[in-house]
């Protein structure tokens, strides 16, 4: 006799929300990993990282097997990566652009 025979867990909505939180936390962990080592990275690598993450999340989000909530979460991550790409370009080339305004747009 297994424990799931006593406690059947059939709440799929809860599991879908856990999937969304897991994707968000994975994206945040990648962001913190990059931010912690940002000053040690060369400028070319700094310019390459956000578009690569943008392309990877966009590619994963177009799969047909994903639920709608996960797809919307990945699209949100893509939007953040577009803003991050603009902020990195402004930082590397010292355009004087304010990063906060880029994220508000």
Q: What is the pLDDT of residues 16-55, one digit of tens each?
A: 788 888 888 887 887 788 788 888 888 888 888 888 888 8
Domain boundaries along the sequence of the chain: 3-104
pLDDT value of residue 32: 84
**7 or 85, which is more confident?**
85
Q: What mean pLDDT is reported for the chain?
A: 78
Whether the CB-CB separation of 65 and 59 falls below 8 Å is answered with: no
User: CA triplet 100, 81, 34: central angle to 5 degrees?
Assistant: 90
Query: pLDDT grade, residue 64 (50/70/90)?
Result: confident
The structure tokens listed for 39 are 């000053």
């Amino acid at each position: 006799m297994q424990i799931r025979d006593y406690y059947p867990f059939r709440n799929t909505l809860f599991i879908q929300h856990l999937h969304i939180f897991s994707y968000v936390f994975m994206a945040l962990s990648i962001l913190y990993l990059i931010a912690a080592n940002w000053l040690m990275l060369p400028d070319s690598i700094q310019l390459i990282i956000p578009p690569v993450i943008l392309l990877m999340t966009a590619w994963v989000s177009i799969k047909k097997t994903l639920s709608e909530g996960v797809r919307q979460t990945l699209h949100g991550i893509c939007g953040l990566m577009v803003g991050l790409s603009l902020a990195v370009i402004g930082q590397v080339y010292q355009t004087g652009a304010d990063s906060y305004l880029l994220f508000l747009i």
